[in-house]
Amino acid sequence: MTTPIEPEQRTSVPMMKWLWSEYLSHHKGWLAVAVVLMVTEGLTFGSLSIMMQPMFDRIFVGGETGSIWLVGLLILAIFLIRAVTALGQRVIMKYVSEKSGAAMRSDLMDHLIGLDTAYHQIHPPGQLIERVQGDVQALSGVWTSLVTGVARDFVAVIGLFSVAMWIDWQWMLIAMLGIPVVVIPSFALQSFVRRKARIAREVSADMSTRLDEVFHGISQIKLNSLEDYQAKRYQRLMKRRVSTETEASFGQGLMSSTVDIMAGLGFLAVIIYGGSEIIDGEKTVGQFMSFFTAMAIAFDPLRRLANIAGLWQAAAAAIDRLLDVFDTKATVVSPPAPVLPPMDAPRVQFDNVHLNYGELPVLNGASFIAEAGQTTALVGASGAGKSTLFNVLTRLVEPQSGKVLLNDTQIETVALDALRARISTVSQDAALFDETLRDNILLGRTDVDDDQLQATLTAAHVADFLPNLPNGLQSPAGPRGSNLSGGQRQRVAIARALLRDTPILLLDEATSALDTKSEAIVQSALDTLAQGRTTLVIAHRLSTIQNAHKIVVMDQGRVVDEGTHDALLARGGLYADLYRLQFRDGKQVSEQPRRPRKATKTYKADQPKRSFLARLFRRPAGS
Ligand SMILES: Nc1ncnc2c1ncn2[C@@H]1O[C@H](COP(=O)(O)OP(=O)(O)OP(=O)(O)O)[C@@H](O)[C@H]1O
């Protein structure tokens, strides 16, 4: 796991150290080989310019035919060395870049998965995907150029300048007159480039979020004719990306362009000064050509070196964003010395639980007991806090105060994975993965034999629909289980829960999106599943919970009544009102299908408070 750096300390040196110690130092050996190859390649630049002198003075001007082969073969040898060293270092750098990128992605993935649910509710999937994929890509692409630049180009420039100095140090000084033209703007441009690179990374993240939303909500987009609207939203982001990327590239390009201006000024000065020395016979043509070649070759690596500051700023922008993620710590964690949770179906007790989402109070002192091995139903208006109670019990969210106990064990004293291993949840939106049905049910388990699997499929009524699938259990479920119907997905979720065989079972409107026939099948599977477990059920259709051992009635985050169906009806409170609205003369009068659950709920501060019944039977907008 990587060590983060505080935002105020994220200057270049600590960031480079972080990159080195966390990801690159593991590849020291390969990097050393690559650097040797780069240095060798860098030295060939200087050697080539040195060869210009004998080529001109001995062969072209001096007419020494005997030197033709020697000089020619030496130049060939230099090019061969370049070919081998360039290829070797390129492959090594690619390997190290991919390996370190993979390590970084894996760390990010581990870290992100461990962060609180609240973090994931604030940061949409597209943004997080862009961090794991895009930011790491941007970074690993840049740092290889940095290493190559520093090792090969730096050595090349030093070698070439040494050759130039050796020929004539005065020419060299004159050629360097334009250096301030490079150095001064380079400093000024750095923060500009970093700012633009960071914005570009943010825009890329927004683009991924938009795509994620569009492709996940494709049916809704089509049904509501939102194609143009969504396309325009995406186009606006692309427009922004084009402008920020262009600006960042302008900043980077400007740094290397200044090298050309410096080169032009340098050559002008050397020709004016050195030209007359050659005409006067003080220097040979070979010396001038050697000097000229050294300087001409040097400007290319020099231009790349001038670009390094810009490249680093782009890398720093990506590192900064990655460190933001690594800096975030999970708050819902296992205790340092966890105790074991009860093995058998426990009594579950909520004791005066208070929870706010931001400013919004959601649970206001909720207290009740779900007896061991019995079924307890939670009913109440939409938004009363029923699902939040499930999230508190599974520690997806932490209450501000109050206790949740399994028998006498407080859930915070239990290790997170041990707690969650005691609980199975079946909800309206069964999360299926893009794998076969078999894999979706087994979820990586290898200890389930064929008989056990078959019995589970039968009990969960999965066996009923298997013959209709082209490859039975081996049929792909499709992305998010899209190849299956809602009822089939729920039966898969029940099969999973049966296999998990946990003492606590949470059913969150598990049958609410189903037609009457599917509901009857799923309900029968759920009844089998609930046997011998402490079961908590959230249901809007009161017909499904009349046989519960206890019904807990919730309103505005607190328990307002509890008892059996008959006792609650006899008391004539909220439950009785609800029941009368759904049933008349023992017959169901309103079959109110529940809207699909939203992935993330957002609180609207200006939402007026509505009465219990009005909220329960609210109409969809526009109806
Ligand atoms: N992640 C969240 N961020 C902010 N508010 C939230 C979040 N999750 C839930 N809420 C709010 O908390 C309140 C209770 O939500 P909860 O899902 O527990 O209600 P519920 O009784 O299960 O409702 P329903 O029957 O509609 O599922 C609602 O007002 C909801 O908008």
Q: What are the tens digits of pLDDT across the range 561-614?
A: 999 998 998 888 888 888 887 776 556 654 444 444 443 333 333 333 333 333
Asked if residue 352 and residue 254 are part of one domain, the reply reads no
- 308 and 365 co-located in one domain: no
Asked, for residue 342, whether it belongs to a domain, the answer is no
CA of 496 to the centre of ligand 1 (A): 26
Question: Which of helix, strand or coil describes residue 497?
Answer: helix
Query: Would you say residue 53 lies in a domain?
Result: yes
Pocket test for ligand 1, best of 116, 362, 379 (most atoms within 8 A of CB): 362
**Residue 527 CA to ligand 1 centre (angstroms):** 27
The Å distance, Cα 156 to ligand 1 centre, comes to 64
Instruction: Report which protein residue has its CA nearest ligand 1's atom 25.
Output: 382
Let me know whether 541 and 601 are in one domain: yes
| 24 in the same domain as 150 | yes
Whether 310 and 255 have beta carbons less than 8 Å apart is answered as yes
Ligand 1 pocket by C-beta < 6 Å: which residues?
121, 357, 360, 362, 380, 382-388, 601, 603
Atom of ligand 1 nearest to the CA of 391: 18
- Minimal-distance CA residue to ligand 1 atom 30: 383
Q: Report the residue among 601, 606, 610 best suited for mutation to probe ligand 1: largest number of ligand atoms under 8 A from its CB.
A: 601
Is 548 inside a domain boundary? yes
What stretches of 115-178 show up as alpha helix (H) in DSSP?
A: 117-122, 125-130, 136-148, 154-167, 169-175
Of all protein residues, the one whose alpha carbon is nearest to atom 13 of ligand 1 is: 383
Counted domains in the chain = 2
Six-digit token string for 402? 């109050």
Q: What is the pLDDT at residue 589?
A: 57
What count of other Cβ atoms lies within 10 Å of the Cβ of residue 20? Answer: 13
Give CA–CA dist 85/312, Å, rounded: 25
With contact defined as beta carbons under 8 Å apart, do 77 and 70 qualify? no
User: Are 270 and 392 in the same domain?
Assistant: no
How far, in Å, from the CA of 383 to the mean position of ligand 1?
A: 5
The pick from 121, 388, 429, 598 for probing ligand 1's pocket by mutation, whose C-beta has the most ligand atoms within 8 angstroms, reads 388
Q: How far is the CA of 387 from the centre of ligand 1 (A)?
A: 7
Tell me how far apart the terminal alpha carbons of the chain are, to the nearest angstrom: 52
* Chain length of the chain: 623
Last residue of a domain, one of 265, 292, 327: 327
Summarize pLDDT for 207-262 with one digit per residue, the tens.
Answer: 888 888 888 778 778 877 888 888 998 999 999 999 998 988 888 777 767 777 77
* Burial of 622 (C-beta count, 10 Å sphere; 0-12/13-18/19+): exposed
- Note down the domain range covering 216: 10-327
What is the CA angle 537-538-544, rounded to 5?
A: 75
The residue type of 544 is T
Nearest residue to 318 via CA among 194, 148, 144:
194
- Which residues are CB-neighbours of 103 under 8 A, at least 6 positions away? 23, 26
Distance 603 CA to ligand 1 centre (A): 8
- Which atom of ligand 1 lies at the shortest distance from residue 597's CA? 27
Among 292, 327, 362, the domain boundary falls at 327
Mutate to test the pocket of ligand 1, among 386, 538, 612 (most ligand atoms within 8 A of CB): 386
**Together in a domain, 309 and 402:** no
Residue 275 φ then ψ, to 5°? -55, -45
User: Do 189 and 298 share a structural domain?
Assistant: yes
Ligand 1 mean position, distance from CA 385 (Å): 6
CA of 226 to the centre of ligand 1 (A): 27
* pLDDT, tens digit, 9 for 90 and up, residues 106-138: 999 999 988 988 888 888 888 888 889 888 888
Same-domain pairing of 220 and 313: yes
Tell me what pLDDT residue 528 has. Answer: 79
* Residue 400 placed within a domain: yes
The verdict on residue 341 lying in a domain is no
State what percent of residues in the chain have pLDDT above 70: 90
Whole-angstrom Cα distance, residue 543 to residue 202? Answer: 50
Q: Which amino acid is at 478?
A: G
Ligand 1 centroid to residue 324 C-alpha, Å: 28
403: number of Cβ within 10 Å: 14
- Output the residue whose Cα is nearest ligand 1's atom 8: 601
The rounded distance, in Å, linking the Cα atoms of 490 and 488 is 5
**260 shares its domain with 122:** yes
Q: What pLDDT, on the 0 to 100 scale, is given for residue 369?
A: 95
Give 399's pLDDT tier (boundaries 50, 70, 90): very high
Asked whether residue 334 is assigned to any structural domain, the reply reads no
Examine the domain organization and report whether 299 and 370 are in the same domain: no
Instruction: Tell me: pLDDT of 621 over 60.
Output: no
CA-closest residue to ligand 1 atom 29: 383
Write the DSSP symbol of residue 476.
B
Tokens of 532: 């011998």
* Smallest CA separation from ligand 1 atom 28, residue: 383
Q: Tell me, in angstroms, the distance from the centre of ligand 1 to residue 127's CA.
A: 24
Same domain, 293 and 376: no
Residue of 117, 355, 603 with the most ligand 1 atoms within 8 Å of its CB, for mutation: 603
Q: Which residues contact 92 (CB under 8 A, 6 or more apart)?
A: 30, 31, 33, 34, 37
CA 122 to ligand 1 center in whole angstroms: 15
Give yes or no for residue 420 having a pLDDT over 70.
yes
Ligand 1: atom nearest CA of 385 is 18
DSSP state letter for 463: T
ipTM of the complex: 0.95
Give me the pLDDT at residue 336, please. Answer: 92
Q: Does a structural domain hold residue 22?
A: yes
Average pLDDT over residues 282-311: 80
pLDDT tens digits, 51-71: 888 888 888 888 888 888 888
Nearest C-alpha neighbor of 518 from the set 489, 479, 481? 489
d(CA 517, CA 532): 26
Are 127 and 328 in contact by the 8 Å Cβ rule? The answer is no
Check whether residue 98 and residue 24 sit in a common domain.
Answer: yes
Pocket test for ligand 1, best of 387, 400, 506 (most atoms within 8 A of CB): 387
Residue pair 582/540 in contact (Cβ under 8 Å)? The answer is: no
Q: What is the CATH number of the domain that holds 229?
A: 1.20.1560.10
Single out the residue in 327, 357, 383 at which a domain terminates: 327
Q: Which has more pLDDT, 30 or 184?
A: 30
Tell whether 332 is covered by a domain.
no
Give the full edge-to-edge strand order of the sheet including 401-406. Answer: 360-370, 348-357, 401-406, 409-410
How many A from CA of 584 to the centre of ligand 1? 30
Distance 160 CA to ligand 1 centre (A): 69
| R_g of the chain computed on alpha carbons | 35
- Could you read off the pLDDT of 498-545 as tens digits, one per residue? 888 899 999 887 776 566 776 777 777 778 778 889 999 998 788 778
CATH code for position 600 = 3.40.50.300
